Amino acid sequence: MTHLEALAKAEQYQSKMAKIAKKSYWKPQYHISAPANWINDPNGFCYFKDEYHVFYQYHPYSSQWGPMHWGHVASKDLVNWKTKPIALAPTDEYDRDGCFSGSAIEKDNTLYLFYTGHVVLDKENDKDDAQLQTQCVAISEDGINFKKLENNPIINIDSFPEDLNILKEHFRDPKVWKYNDMYYKVVGAQTTEKTGQALIYKSKDLLNWEFVNVMAMSTEEENLGFMWECPNFAEIDNHEVLILSPQGVEPEGNKFLNLHQSGYFLGKMDYNTGVFERENNFEILDYGFDFYAPQIMQDEKNNRCLMIGWLAMWESEMPEQEEGWAGMMSIPRVLEVKNNKVYSLPIPELKKLRKNNVNYDVNLVQNCILEGINGDCYELNTVFDLTKANGFNLKLRVSENEETVISYDKNSKIFKLNRDKSGKGVTGEREVKVNLQDEKISLQIFSDYSSLEIFINGGEYVISSRIYPTQEATGIVFEPIGEIKAKIDFYEI
């Protein structure tokens, strides 16, 4: 089957299944999701032909993970997204079992998609040591129709020296950027000791690539998993940042609660040696249940760095699979660096979604429901002055038997999200230690039908989670522990 035939077949099946998936109450209203079936990592986040583009790992034939295609959406404003034709399908010998994650870049009015071709060498024993991963490219002049290059793969496992400590079976997720007159590509990899590392390549034309060095790697003392997936190199407020998604992170108290994490190092890139010199320990980007494989883009149009992530997690319960779809993307976020820490904030363009504002400036002294503040799709902004309080509980998506609870204890400084009663299939608690600012804590909360994203103190910390409540779960209950002076802004979406 040719690539065009495979794309047409996938489109046809997607259209059929979309009729089922759109009936699901949990299907998001304003987050990116596929018309039907499985999605995971965002790919190719870029700006091309006057539109923002997001591609994503996609299995168009099932709500379960399977041979990866690249789905595609585009937007003029980062808020209203339109589904575009599927961009890539696994049809060639070098990518027959999956077009894995990658990135995009424009050159000479042409959009280049860089992705990992995945091949399973032993179908009967699909093990990690029986696979081959290479780096490939497809190009488009219109941003819609993509053609794979005839000389794919453009980088294979013979590209790095034999004497380096690199396990050849794990070599994926290329991220490309330009610095001066040279292009660079970082690729996630694994050492022979089963720890994570990132490799860097360079090219003058995006087609012929030269291995430079091991850009960064974990040490024996670090708890940074067995594989570094989806590496990103970012420039944020004149800081250089290496963003990673380590797999297999062991719990350390409550610091690492997901087996797979996404976080970053601040540092300095030495383009002569190809080494990224780290300046801090690994820091988490999102402390919730569901945020993985983020991808950044340098938004030159607005002079900022943007990030979007997969709002799900490996090993998570996904009740929506029974309704013909699985997975969604986070809202786009703006990254900033303050006091040597990366902050994540919702993009300001999301204000376009706001409807029917209700606001209060009130003293909370007992449990209460405020008139006009309820729903399932909304933005809720609060500033709580805890000078006379020991903390609070804020219950979201409340029905007779359901609630998702966020809370703060001033003595321990622990902020928690609890979803033990959040609906079908999910339970558990996530937490992060948060210092107050002048006895105040601010929250910006985005709720969609099956998700919550909570931005704390202007994006200093973020907690994101999938939840699966019923349609009746629309209540919001404020429970002060003491007296709270509260400013509350609520917007329907």
Give the DSSP H/E element, type plus range, for residue 457: none
* Residue 69 contacts residue 86 (beta carbons within 8 Å): yes
Can you say how many angstroms the Cα of residue 14 is from the centroid of all Cα atoms in its chain? 23
Q: Of all helices (H) and strands (E), which one includes residue 271?
A: none
Partners of 61 in beta bridges: none
Place of tokens 């008139």: 371
d(CA 193, CA 185): 24
Cα–Cα distance for residue pair 186/197, rounded to 1 Å: 10
Question: Any idea which residues carry the catalytic annotation?
Answer: 41
How far the first Cα of the chain sits from its last, in Å, is 43
Chain centre distance of CA 291: 5
Rg (CA), the chain: 22
Q: In angstroms, how far is CA 125 from the centroid of its own chain?
A: 30
| Token pair in block for residue 290 | 């569901």
Q: Which two tokens stand for residue 299?
A: 């938004």
Closest Cα partner for 80 from 54, 106, 102? Answer: 54
What are φ and ψ of residue 49, in 5° steps? 55, 45
